Amino acid sequence: MIRDQETLNILLASIRRFVREQLVPHEQQVAETDEIPPALVAQMRELGLFGLSIPEQYGGLGLTMEEEVLAAFEIARTSPAFRSLFGTNNGIGSQGILIDGTEEQKNAWLPRMASGEIVGSFALTEPGYGSDAGSLTTSAVRDGDHYIINGTKRYITNAPEAGVFTVMARTDATRKGPGGVSAFIVERGTPGISLGKKDRKMGQQGAHTCDVIFENCRVPASCIIGGKEGQGFKTAMKVLDKGRLHISAICVGVAERMLEDALRYAMERQQFGQPIAEFQLIQAMLADSKAEIYAARSMVLDAARRRDNGEDIPTEASCCKLFASEMCGRVADRSVQIHGGAGYVSDYAAERFYRDVRLFRIYEGTSQIQQLVIARNMIKAAGA
C-alpha cells in the first residue's frame, strides 16, 4: 500500500542516487578492509535508512510493507554488507519491540534505533540450535526484580556494533519447546556480556557477526518484551513474515544488479569477432535470469500488498523467501559463467556477489525450513 506516491518517489530517487554515487564506488574497499567507512554510515543516518520501517511517532519513516520492499529493491543494488548494518534496526532488532513491547520500551529504544544512534541486534541462534530455535538452552532465572541470563548466542549479526540486544532465553526450565522462551531487551555494556571474535565469513565482508556470551548477566525484570514470560518465541515468529519479505526483496535487487553487470559485460566482451551477447547460449542465461527476477519481484510485491491489507501471509512469505533466495543463487552462478574467467577473479563484482548471496539461502530460515513451513501450512489448510 503506497500512501503518497510523490513522497515515495523522492525517497527512492534519493536511495538510488546514494547507492550509485556513494556505495557502489566503495564496494571493493569494504570487501578488502571488512569495514564500512564512518562517513558512509553518517550518510545512511541522514537518509533515514536506520528507521525505514519504524513508525513516524518514534522518529522513523514508517514505510508500509510495499514501500519498504520498493526501497529494498534499490538498496540491494550494491554490496549486501551495507544493508546489513541498518537492516536489523528495521527488522528483527526493532520489530519485536514494536509489535509486543510496552510503550515504555518502545519510547526508550525505537527513537534511538530510528536515528541510527544505536544498532539493534537479535540474539536467537545458539551453538547447538539454529533451525531448531525452540530448543534453545540460554537460561534466564528470576532473582527478585531481576533475571540472571547465562548462555552463548552464535552468528549474531551486528553484534560487534550493537548498542542493544533482543535476547531469547528460557525462563521456564521445566517447559520444553518454545513455550518456555522469553524475549529480553539487554543493553550493551551490561555486566556479564562479552563478545567473541568476529567471524571470518565466505562473503559479505563489512557485515559483522560474532558470538555473544552471557555469564551471570543481571537484567531488570522490566526488560522482558511486553512484560510477560513465555511470549518470546511468539514474538520472534511475528517478525518473521516481515523479515522474510524484506530479505526476498533484497535478493531481487541484488539479482538485478548482477544481471545488469552480466549484460554489460556480454555486450562489451568480444569473441569470434562479435560480442558474446550475440551467442544464443549466452542469451539463454540472460533470459532465464530476467524471467526469474521478474517472477520473484512480482511475488514479493503481491505478498507485501497482502500484508498491508491485513492478511496473514506466513505461507506467501516463505514462498517468497524460498524462491527469491534460490533464484538469486542461480543468477549469481550464471553471472560468473557469462563473465567466464573474469568472473572468477576479484577484479569483477561477479566473484564477490557469488560469495555474498550464498547467505540468503541460510538466514531468516533456510530454504529447507521454508519448504517445511509451506508444506505444513498447506496440509493444515487442507484439513481445516
CB of 319 closer than 8 Å to CB of 374: yes
Residues assigned a catalytic role: 364
Q: Find the range with the poorest average confidence among 18-22, 91-95, 297-301, 354-358.
A: 91-95
All 3 cell numbers of residue 332? 549469481
| pLDDT of amino acid 221 | 95
pLDDT at 171 over 80: yes
Q: Are 243 and 364 in contact (CB under 8 A)?
A: yes
Residue 177: band (very low, low, confident or very high) from pLDDT cuts 50, 70, 90: confident
Q: Which segments of the chain does DSSP mark as H helices, in order?
A: 5-18, 27-33, 38-47, 65-75, 80-90, 95-100, 103-115, 232-268, 280-308, 314-339, 349-356, 367-383
Please state the separation of Cα 216 from the chain's center in Å. Answer: 30
Residue 348 sits at the vertex; the CA angle it makes with 14 and 13, to the nearest 5 degrees, is: 10
Q: Do the Cβ atoms of 280 and 36 come closer than 8 Å?
A: no
Residue 211: left if φ>0, alpha if ψ -120 to 50, beta else—which one? Answer: beta
Cβ neighbours of residue 361 closer than 8 Å, sequence gap 6 or more: 325, 326, 329, 367
Task: Look at residue 175 in the predicted model and tell me its pLDDT.
Answer: 85
> What's the pLDDT score for residue 132?
80
CATH C-level class of 234-383: mainly alpha
Q: Do domains 120-228 and 234-383 have the same CATH topology?
A: no
Longest Cα–Cα distance in the chain: 80
Task: Tell me what pLDDT residue 174 has.
Answer: 87
Distance in angstroms (rounded) separating the CA atoms of residues 379 and 384 = 9
Cell reading at 42: 553518517
Is the distance from CB of 252 to CB of 296 less than 8 angstroms? Answer: yes
Q: Match 540472571 to its residue by C-alpha cell.
A: 148
CA 155 to chain centre: 13
At residue 119, does pLDDT exceed 80?
yes
Domain residues of the chain, as ranges?
5-115, 120-228, 234-383
CATH class of 5-115: mainly alpha
- Per-residue pLDDT band at 293 (split at 50, 70, 90): very high
Q: Kindly report, residue by residue over 187-239, the tens digit of the pLDDT.
A: 999 999 999 999 999 999 999 999 999 999 999 999 999 888 998 888 888 88
| Local structure of residue 189 (DSSP, 8 states) | T
- Average pLDDT across the chain, whole number: 95
User: pLDDT exceeding 70 applies to what percent of the chain?
Assistant: 100
SS3 of residue 152 by DSSP: strand
CATH class assigned to 120-228: mainly beta
Over residues 121-144, the mean pLDDT reads: 89
Spatial separation of the C-alpha atoms in residues 262 and 268, rounded to whole Å: 10
pTM of the model: 0.94
- The pLDDT, as a whole number, for residue 217 is 97
Over residues 37-80, the pLDDT tens digits come to 999 999 999 999 999 999 999 999 999 999 999 999 999 999 99
